[in-house]
Amino acid sequence: MLHSLNVGDYMTQSIMTFRPEQDVIAAARILANRGFSGAPVVDDLGRLVGILSDTDCIRAMVKFGFDPDWRGLVSEFMSPNVETVELEDSILDVAQRFTEKRFRRYPVMEDNRVVGVISRIDVLRALERIEL
C-alpha cells in the first residue's frame, strides 16, 4: 500500500512563485511574512527556472544590511539547478530522497509545469497515516 501513495495526493497545490526579475529583498520579506522556507521561480511562460530558498534570502538580506541602497534580483540569488519530482512519484521514493539530501521541498512537475510543492512535512504526514 505504501508504494501506491503518490506525491499528487499529499503535495501543496496552492503555491507561491517568484519571477527572476523580482526584487530579492521584497521576495525575502514575502517568504518571512508567510513563514515559507522557499518558493519556485518561474519565467513568463510558467516554466521552472530556479528555486529561492530562505538561505538565498538571508544572503541577500545580509548584503542589504550592509548597504540599504543596494538592490538585487531573485535571479541573482536563486538556485538555478533544481531537483524536482513528478506528480505520480511514490511518497516512499520521495521520503527516501529526503533522507539522502538536505532539501526541504521539491517542486512537483506535470507536463513540464510546476503543479505543486512537496515538503518534508507533507511526506511525514503521508507516512504518519500509514498503519505499519
Angle at 68 between CA 71 and CA 22, to 5 degrees: 25
Q: Note the pLDDT of residue 131.
A: 62
The model's pTM is: 0.84
Q: Which CATH architecture has domain 2-128?
A: Roll (3.10)
Give tens-digit pLDDT for 29-49. Answer: 999 999 888 999 999 988 999
Name the strand (E) or helix (H) holding 20.
Answer: none
Please say if the pLDDT value at position 4 is more than 60.
Answer: yes
Q: Note the pLDDT of residue 2.
A: 52
3-class secondary-structure state, position 129: coil
Name the percent of the chain lying above pLDDT 90: 71
Helix ranges (DSSP H) in the chain: 24-34, 54-66, 74-77, 91-100, 120-128
Give the CA distances from residue 45 to residues 105, 112, 132, in Å, rounded to whole numbers and listed in that order: 22, 11, 43
Q: Note the pLDDT of residue 40.
A: 95
Give tens-digit pLDDT for 88-119. Answer: 999 999 999 999 998 889 999 998 889 999 99
